[in-house]
């Protein structure tokens, strides 16, 4: 700029810049001369402001240059005129007109005010239309301006001081006009007799100046990372202040690219803002919706008479008292519509050139702010994703130098960021456990596909070798050259710890603190194995409480829980160290007494019974409770845990039937009980007599709340016994080896039903789950049989999901792995039912080809009241996620459970909250899409 600045003005300009940079002022204005390209000097008004970054460092100058040569010329001619009386009025007028500068003179003695023609025009008057006096002329000024002007006139009058002011007037037509007005004084013998001066319309310059200030202010806001909303509000307010009746509304493009959401509308009423938030792009979205659609400004000069305007928008405008709207699209630098900028007016209105210019510029600033905000958001997100990632992230260069790592990497490897950066990852992390071939194979895959994933042994800073799951991806440039390699690492030894924790949690009953069923079974197995080796004997005592159900039902679960806890405590007082007392579930307890014979078993039973002779006092109320005890001995009454438990159960049943106390198991009891129930005999005919049915229970997505499948559950209605629960007859059928044909029936019936729904036009989303018993999977022919049944019914395996209980699979896990692999390959979905009650090891879980884990109902039931159960549910979900399986929670009865499960990341729920299992017709009616008529 030095080359084009007049040498006389250079020094002063540089001095100003120095002061500006030193931070003493924010902006400056000066008159100076520039050289034009043609070599002529031109007088300009220069305004410069400095934009600084967040840290206060100067970033750039914003300068505005205005040509004021006309003004300078006019002033000179005015001076000449007042000096030479011969100067004709005509010449003066002509030059004033050309310069758009008016003149005036106040004769103080006569108290007359003279205006030149141009002065009239500035006031939107025609010459002579108005006879000015000082008092009436001052009326044109705004209140603030009046104060300044009267003070200046007084000073001029009393002290002969000239003035040069920039003031605002309201013209005769109500236009806001900025004027520059000067006053100089004529004195005779030291007395002021006249004050005269020039007046110039500087509205345009003033606007430009205000714009410039605004512009640098907004730029500063943007570069200081001010919230987008605040920047938009500043933009809107500026436009509103410029045009007095204007109200602005800035909308932003929603992420779906099909809607506009509210950005800022500081002066419009709340209901207005609400109505324009999330409007559709297109005609439904009114002027803004159309502007965004057409990518062009939309102008409605009078909303009341505009034909294309939808009634709802007209009503809204009416309510808010708005008559005109003008909306322009806001474009990003890639010319994508990122929003709209609209101005409303309370009167019918059309923009002039200046208004258009203002709005275009405001929209451009809005675009800048929006893009900047989006960019920042994306960056912030990327940063958080990177930093907050629980997995270690490492970015390396093509020559394996570490470029950056996140915090999780530090925790994982023990190396700090600064230690890691610059080193090669091989040097830092290689455990030495893998050979050359391993790495070159990974490299090959990366070169070919750009990705690799697998397990790797790595080494921590402290030397510890540990397993990690590693995903590697190459970043390539446009030419396909690898520029960076991103490795994501997670510690899978943690998964093992977590699995151990699940096991720990899953081994103890949360209510009583006693070993649970799983741990009991484990101990019993060990005991039996050891007993067999050593030829030991012993007793199993099975306790089922009497009258517990009444307490639980009448007093509620809380009291029921107290009763169980107190009973457990009392039982423990008579339990010896070498005996194992466990809670099997519900009100059932069991005790292993190694080495006990009939006599000592009877003694133990008597002691246990005695602990309940005193009533339980629960919350100040006494409750009498008893227990019935069944006793069986190993190895005489059974060699396997199942057999033994079943037999203690039968003996307990007899004790209960006899009014409590204890009973030893006797062989004839078994058949007696079964006869009593008659189940086994009735089941076969029942199948033939069509007494069996399938009921269907919906599976609901916790995220979408929509139906995503169903479970088929067996129902048996016996003409004499009434409804018999599958929980009762399925185990009997299993013992009797009847589960094969029953299972076939279930599969056949399921397919038939699905086919029927299909023909009727109903569609079940997802798969139908059916329960498969352990006996079915023990059958070596199972796969062929199932496929045959499915195909015969005109179905495909993809229709079905097979639920296998965790414990049934764990009875012979190697076999289960094999069968499940076959079933999955054939297209069946697989699910692990009642998860948490068996105790599968993680290594098997990974190998079972299951898609889904069903969290057992017993954990879900108490998850809100019991911390342990809550933790187990949480851990199961986390573990399933880490193994890539989805989770279904069964037995969801409360909204609170659903909510908590969803929060933990569980995908699907099933339970009475949504529906009980219902017959096929009812299910179709309630849950399936009706057929199109």
Nearer CB in complex with ligand C2E: 406/807: 807
Nearest distance from residue 308's CB to ligand C2E, in Å? 56
Query: What does 137 interact with, of Ca ion, ligand C2E, none (CB < 5 to 8 A by kind)?
Result: none
- The minimum distance between CB 752 and ligand C2E, in angstroms, equals 14
| Pairing, β 279-280 against β 259-264 | antiparallel
263 binds, among Ca ion, ligand C2E, none (CB under 5 to 8 A by kind): none
Comparison of 771 and 862: residue with beta carbon closer to ligand C2E: 771
Closer CB to ligand C2E, 371 or 803, in the complex = 803
Residue 773: contacted member of Ca ion, ligand C2E, none (CB under 5 to 8 Å, by partner type): ligand C2E
From the CB of residue 155, how many other CB atoms can be counted at a distance below 10 Å? 15
Phi then psi dihedrals of residue 402, to 5 deg: -75, 125
Please identify, using beta-carbon distances, which residue of 561 and 833 lies nearer to ligand C2E. 833
Could you tell which of Ca ion, ligand C2E, none binds residue 801, using a CB distance below 5 to 8 A set by kind? none
Q: CB of residue 711 vs ligand C2E: minimum separation in angstroms? A: 7
Contact indicator for 686, 741 with CB cutoff of 8 Å: no
Q: CA-to-CA distance for 223 and 699, rounded, in angstroms? A: 52
Helices 548-555 & 557-573, crossing angle to 10 degrees? 150
CB nearer to ligand C2E: pick between 203 and 776: 776
ω into residue 635 within 30 of 0, thus cis?
A: yes
Q: Answer with the entry of Ca ion, ligand C2E, none that 648 interacts with (C-beta below 5 to 8 A by kind).
A: none
Burial group, residue 804, by CB count within 10 angstroms (0-12, 13-18, 19+): buried
Residue 837 beta carbon to Ca ion: minimum distance, rounded to whole angstroms: 9
Q: Which is nearer to ligand C2E, 181 or 807 (CB)?
A: 807
DSSP state at residue 931: P
- Look up residue 467 and give its two tokens: 């397993």
Minimum Å gap between C-beta 489 and ligand C2E is 38
Report the partner that residue 724 touches, choosing among Ca ion, ligand C2E, none (CB closer than 5 to 8 A by kind): none
The nearer residue to ligand C2E, 778 or 893, going by C-beta atoms, is 893
CB of 846 to ligand C2E, least distance (A): 23
| Token digits of residue 552 | 């639980």
Q: How far is the CB of 772 from Ca ion (least distance, A)?
A: 9
Q: State the Cα–Cα distance between residues 632 and 538, nearest whole angstrom.
A: 9
Q: How far is the CB of 856 from ligand C2E (least distance, A)?
A: 7
Rounded to whole angstroms, the Cα distance separating 140 from 323 reads 28
For ligand C2E, give the closer residue by CB, 801 or 834: 834
The site partner of 726 among Ca ion, ligand C2E, none (C-beta below 5 to 8 Å per kind) is ligand C2E
Contacts 24+ apart (CB under 8 A), 145-151: 145/169, 149/181
Q: How far is CA 559 from CA 72, 319, 552, 623, in A?
A: 98, 61, 7, 10
Tokens of 193: 């007799």
* Cβ-based nearer residue to Ca ion, 228 or 873: 873
Residue 98: name the closest of 127, 74, 68 by CA.
74
Round the CA-based radius of gyration of the chain to a whole number and report it: 45
Comparing CB distances to ligand C2E, the nearer of 553 and 636 is: 553
Q: How far apart are CB 835 and ligand C2E at their closest, in Å?
A: 10
**What count of other Cβ atoms lies within 10 Å of the Cβ of residue 216?**
22
Q: Which does 714 bind (CB under 5 to 8 A by kind): Ca ion, ligand C2E, none?
A: ligand C2E
Given ligand C2E, Ca ion, none, residue 730, with its beta carbon under 5 to 8 Å by kind, binds: ligand C2E
> Least distance from C-beta 901 to ligand C2E, angstroms?
13
Question: What, of Ca ion, ligand C2E, none, does residue 713 touch, CB below 5 to 8 Å by kind?
Answer: ligand C2E
Residue 71's binding partner out of ligand C2E, Ca ion, none, with CB under 5 to 8 Å set by partner kind: none
Min. distance of Cβ 888 from ligand C2E in angstroms?
Answer: 11
Tokens 């091989």 belong to 426
Max Cα–Cα distance, the chain, nearest Å: 146
| Cross-strand pairs, 855 | 835, 889
Contact (Cβ atoms closer than 8 angstroms) between residue 804 and residue 772: yes
Q: Taking each helix axis from N to C terminus, what angle separates 867-882 and 493-507, rounded to the nearest 10 degrees?
A: 150
To ligand C2E, the closest distance from the beta carbon of 54 in angstroms equals 57
Of Ca ion, ligand C2E, none, which one does residue 110 interact with (CB within 5 to 8 Å by kind)?
none
- For residue 619, the partner it binds in ligand C2E, Ca ion, none, with Cβ less than 5 to 8 A by kind, is none
Q: Given the complex with Ca ion, which of 834 and 852 has the nearer CB atom?
A: 834
Give the nearest distance from C-beta 258 to Ca ion in angstroms.
Answer: 42
Task: In whole angstroms, give the CA distance from residue 25 to residue 11.
Answer: 18
How many Cα neighbours within 13 Å face the side chain of 855? Answer: 38
Cβ proximity to ligand C2E: between 182 and 808 the closer is 808
Residue number, 359 or 920, with CB nearest to ligand C2E: 920
Residue 911 binds which of ligand C2E, Ca ion, none (CB < 5-8 A, kind-dependent): ligand C2E
Q: Which two tokens stand for residue 689?
A: 């007599």
Name the residue nearer to Ca ion (CB basis): 649 or 890.
890
Q: How far is the CB of 770 from ligand C2E (least distance, A)?
A: 6
Q: What's the min distance (Å) between Cβ of 802 and ligand C2E? A: 10
Residue closer to ligand C2E by CB (options 168, 744) is: 744
Q: Which does 698 bind (CB under 5 to 8 A by kind): ligand C2E, Ca ion, none?
A: none
Q: Which residues of 24-55 are buried (b: 16+ CB within 10 A; e: fewer)?
A: eeebbeeebbbeeeeeebbbbbbbbbbbeeee
Nearer to ligand C2E by C-beta: 586 or 726? 726
> What is the per-residue burial (b if ≥16 Cβ within 10 Å, else e) of 372-389?
bbeeeeeeeeeeeebeee
Q: Which two tokens stand for residue 186?
A: 């004529």
Query: Smallest distance, Å, CB 833 to ligand C2E?
Result: 5
Which uninterrupted H or E stretch holds 815? helix 813-826
Backbone angles phi, psi at 919, to 5 degrees: -65, 160
Extract the tokens encoding 530. 């050891």
- Pairing verdict, β 246-253 and 259-264: antiparallel
Which positions lie near Ca ion, rule CB under 5 A? 771, 803, 833-834, 890
Helices (H), 5-64: 7-21
The tokens for 708 are 């995503």
In this structure, what token pair is assigned to residue 55?
């840290």
Q: How far is the CB of 900 from ligand C2E (least distance, A)?
A: 15
Interface residues with ligand C2E (CB under 6 A) are: 697, 713-714, 725-727, 730, 746, 771-773, 833-834, 857, 890-893, 911-912, 917
DSSP-assigned letters across all residues of 648-666: HHHHHHHHHHTTSEEEE--
Q: Which does 725 bind (CB under 5 to 8 A by kind): Ca ion, ligand C2E, none?
A: ligand C2E
Dihedral-angle region of residue 587 (phi above 0 means left; psi in -120 to 50 means alpha; beta otherwise):
alpha
C-beta of 439 vs 912, nearer to ligand C2E: 912
Cβ neighbours, 10 Å, residue 171 = 17
SS3 369: helix
> Which among Ca ion, ligand C2E, none contacts residue 168 (Cβ within 5 to 8 A by kind)?
none
Q: Which residue is nearest to ligand C2E (CB)?
A: 911
Beta bridge partners of 621: 618
């Amino acid at each position: 700029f030095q080359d084009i600045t007049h040498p006389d003005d250079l020094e002063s300009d540089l001095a100003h810049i120095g002061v500006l940079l030193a931070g003493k002022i924010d902006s400056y204005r000066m008159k100076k001369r520039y050289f034009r390209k043609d070599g002529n000097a031109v007088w300009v008004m220069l305004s410069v402001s400095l934009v600084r970054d967040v840290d206060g460092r100067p970033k750039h100058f914003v300068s505005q240059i205005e040509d004021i040569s006309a003004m300078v010329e006019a002033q000179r001619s005015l001076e000449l005129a007042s000096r030479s009386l011969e100067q004709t009025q005509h010449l003066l007028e002509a030059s004033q007109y050309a310069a758009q500068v008016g003149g005036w003179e106040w004769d103080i003695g006569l108290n007359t005010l003279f205006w030149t023609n141009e002065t009239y025009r500035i006031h939107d008057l025609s010459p002579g239309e108005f006879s000015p006096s000082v008092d009436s002329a001052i009326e044109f000024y705004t209140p603030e301006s009046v104060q300044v002007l009267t003070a200046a006139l007084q000073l001029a009058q009393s002290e002969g001081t000239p003035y040069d002011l920039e003031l605002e007037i309201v013209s005769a037509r109500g236009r806001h006009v900025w004027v520059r007005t000067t006053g100089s004084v004529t004195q005779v013998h030291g007395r002021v007799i006249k004050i005269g001066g020039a007046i110039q319309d500087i509205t345009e310059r003033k606007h430009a100046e205000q714009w410039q200030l605004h512009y640098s202010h907004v730029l500063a806001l943007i570069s200081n990372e001010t919230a987008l909303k605040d920047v938009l509000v500043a933009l809107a307010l500026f436009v509103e202040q410029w045009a007095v009746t204007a109200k602005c509304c800035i909308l932003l493009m929603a992420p779906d690219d099909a809607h506009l959401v509210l950005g800022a509308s500081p002066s419009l009423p709340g209901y207005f803002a609400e109505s324009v938030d999330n409007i559709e792009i297109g005609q439904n979205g009114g002027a803004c919706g159309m502007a965004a659609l057409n990518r062009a400004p939309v102008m409605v000069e009078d909303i009341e008479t505009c034909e294309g305007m939808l009634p709802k928008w007209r009503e809204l405008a009416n309510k808010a008292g708005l008559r005109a709207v003008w909306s322009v699209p806001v474009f990003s630098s890639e010319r994508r519509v990122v929003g709209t900028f609209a101005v409303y007016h309370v009167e019918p209105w059309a923009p002039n050139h200046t208004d258009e210019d203002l709005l275009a510029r405001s929209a451009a600033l809005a675009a800048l702010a929006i893009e900047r905000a989006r960019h920042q958001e994306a960056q912030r997100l990327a940063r958080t994703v990177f930093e907050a990632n629980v997995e270690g992230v490492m970015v390396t260069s093509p020559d394996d130098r570490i470029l950056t790592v996140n915090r999780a990497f530090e925790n994982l490897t023990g190396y700090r960021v600064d230690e890691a950066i610059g080193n090669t990852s091989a040097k830092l992390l290689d455990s030495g456990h893998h050979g050359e071939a391993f790495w070159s194979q990974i490299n090959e895959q990366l070169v070919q596909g750009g990705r690799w994933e697998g397990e790797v042994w790595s080494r921590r800073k402290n030397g510890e070798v540990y397993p990690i799951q590693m995903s590697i991806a190459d970043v390539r440039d446009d030419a396909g050259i690898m520029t960076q390699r991103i490795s994501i690492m997670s510690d899978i030894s943690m998964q093992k710890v977590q699995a151990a924790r699940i096991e720990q949690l899953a081994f103890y009953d949360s209510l009583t603190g006693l070993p649970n069923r799983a741990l009991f079974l484990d101990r019993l197995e060990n005991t039996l194995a050891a007993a067999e080796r050593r030829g030991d004997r012993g007793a199993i005592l099975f306790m089922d409480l009497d009258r517990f159900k009444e307490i639980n039902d009448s007093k509620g679960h809380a009291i029921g829980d107290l009763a169980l806890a107190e009973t457990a405590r009392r039982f423990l007082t008579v339990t010896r160290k070498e005996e194992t007392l466990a809670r099997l579930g519900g009100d059932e307890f069991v005790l292993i007494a190694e080495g006990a014979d009939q006599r000592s078993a009877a003694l133990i039973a008597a002691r246990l019974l005695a602990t309940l002779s005193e009533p339980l006092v629960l919350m100040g109320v006494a409750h009498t409770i008893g227990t019935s005890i069944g006793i069986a001995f190993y190895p005489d009454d059974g060699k396997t845990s199942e057999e033994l438990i079943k037999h203690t159960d039968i003996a307990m049943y007899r004790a209960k039937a006899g009014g409590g106390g204890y009973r030893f198991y006797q062989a004839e009891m078994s058949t007696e009980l079964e006869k009593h129930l008659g189940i086994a005999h009735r089941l076969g005919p029942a199948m033939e007599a069509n007494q069996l049915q399938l009921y269907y229970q919906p599976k609901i997505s916790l995220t979408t709340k929509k139906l995503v499948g169903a479970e088929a559950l067996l129902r048996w209605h016996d003409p004499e016994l009434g409804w018999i629960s599958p929980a009762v007859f399925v185990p009997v059928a299993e013992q009797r080896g009847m589960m094969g044909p029953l299972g076939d029936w279930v599969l056949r019936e399921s397919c038939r039903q699905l086919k029927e729904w299909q023909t009727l036009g109903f569609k079940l989303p997802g798969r139908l789950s059916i329960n498969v018993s352990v006996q079915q999977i023990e059958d070596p022919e199972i796969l062929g049989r199932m496929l045959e049944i499915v195909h015969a019914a005109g179905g495909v395996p993809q229709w079905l999901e097979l639920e296998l209980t965790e414990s049934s699979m764990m009875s012979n896990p190697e076999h289960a792995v094999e069968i499940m692999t076959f079933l999955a390959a054939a297209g069946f979905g697989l699910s692990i039912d009642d998860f948490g009650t068996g105790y599968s090891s993680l290594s098997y879980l990974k190998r079972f080809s299951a898609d889904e884990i069903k969290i057992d109902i017993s954990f879900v039931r108490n998850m809100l009241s019991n911390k342990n159960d809550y933790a187990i549910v949480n851990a199961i979900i986390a573990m399933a996620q880490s193994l890539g399986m989805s989770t279904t929670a069964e037995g969801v009865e409360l909204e609170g459970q659903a909510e908590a499960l969803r929060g933990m990341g569980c995908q699907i729920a099933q339970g009475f909250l949504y529906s009980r299992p219902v017959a096929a017709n009812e299910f179709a009616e309630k849950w399936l899409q009706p057929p199109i008529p």
